[in-house]
Amino acid sequence: MAMYGEFAHAQQVFRAFAPDSEVLVLGSSHPFHAINPGSAKQLRMWNASFCSGDAWITYHTYLAIREKWPKRPGQIVLFGEDFWEAHLQTEYLRQGFLVAVILHLLIGMPYRNAFLLRDYERTLKKMTSCNNLPPPKFIRGYWPFIEGEGLDAKTRFARHSKRLVYEPTELPLLFRLREAVEADGRRLVYLRTPHRQDYLNEVAASGIDIWAPCAKAREGLPLLDYFSLQPPNARCFANPDHLTPEGANWLTPIVERDLIRLNIH
């Protein structure tokens, strides 16, 4: 199901992209689950995040979509990355290790499997040209959350603390994304989504800034930081660091309001 969901989502993102979108959401699992364009009232959004994505797929997603996105003043690329998890997702996806490995060989983890991804854009074309899938059930690119990771908090945080991979792999791609967005005359805004209180407590106790690796790439850019923002009820969280559809419906209007307040649209 994980692979089916990713392929169907990719098909929706590229083939059904709405060219009148004003805000393009990119990134990995956090924005994937946190932004529901159907809940926005004033800005036309399109969520092109990928649950199992990383900076590589984010960058190439933008390159693919930019050709379908006519340039207009005020366009925003809203980028959110669960920066400490990208190289760990194969270990704890609910569907199991083997499915996760296959999934990442196809559409992610290029720094571990670069020899299998020499022609990445061809992979994307295969994903978006698949005709044997049923009609997508998304709302302007939004795919509902799939529950469950099954790890205790201690194990999760120990894995989140492994950050050795980011400097040589993720950062160059983030700079390339920024250069491409700015070259198109669009604004790049960073998004940090809410985390549950127990996870916030773990972060505070560790003293580790899990977003530190991307500070250079974010320098001078606006940041919408909802890391410590707590939703109105527990149903908004699916696990310590991902929202449910209910949580996305709560957060999206807040993000929309703050984008407008930044006077960048």
pLDDT tens by residue, 69-119: 999 999 999 998 765 443 333 333 333 444 444 444 444 443 333 333 334
CA angle (174, 90, 101) in 5-degree steps: 100
Q: How far is CA 255 from CA 157, 192, 195, in A?
A: 27, 10, 15
Angle between helices 120-128 and 55-66 (to 10 degrees): 60
Distance CA 250, CA 232 (A): 8
Quote the pTM value: 0.72
- Is the separation of the CB atoms in 194 and 247 below 8 Å? yes
Closest CA to 109 of 121, 101, 119, 99: 101
**pLDDT at residue 162 tops 60:** no
Average pLDDT estimate for 130-143: 37
Other Cβ atoms closer than 10 A to 147: 11
Q: Any idea which fold 2-261 has?
A: Rossmann fold (3.40.50)
Question: What pLDDT score does 213 carry?
Answer: 61
170-185 confidence digits (pLDDT tens)? 667 788 899 999 999 9
Rg (CA), the chain: 17
In the block, tokens 């984008």 appear at 259
What percentage of the chain carries pLDDT values higher than 70? 57
Q: Of 143, 28, 160, which is closest to residue 81 (Cα–Cα)?
A: 28
Q: What is the reported pLDDT for 58? A: 84
**3-class SS at 263?**
coil
| CA proximity to 214, closest of 115, 114, 79 | 79
What is the arithmetic mean of pLDDT over 50-70?
82
Structure tokens of 19?
């060219």
Q: For the residues 181-206, what does the mean pLDDT come to?
A: 88
Average pLDDT of the residues in 14-18: 84
Instruction: State residue 167's pLDDT score.
Output: 38
194 or 218, higher pLDDT? 194
Per-residue pLDDT at 7: 60
DSSP state of 114: G
- Average pLDDT for the chain: 71
What percentage of residues in the chain have a pLDDT greater than 90? 35
- Using the predicted structure, report yes or no on whether residue 135 has a pLDDT greater than 50: no
pLDDT band at 153 (very low <50, low <70, confident <90, very high): low
DSSP-assigned beta bridge partners for residue 265? none
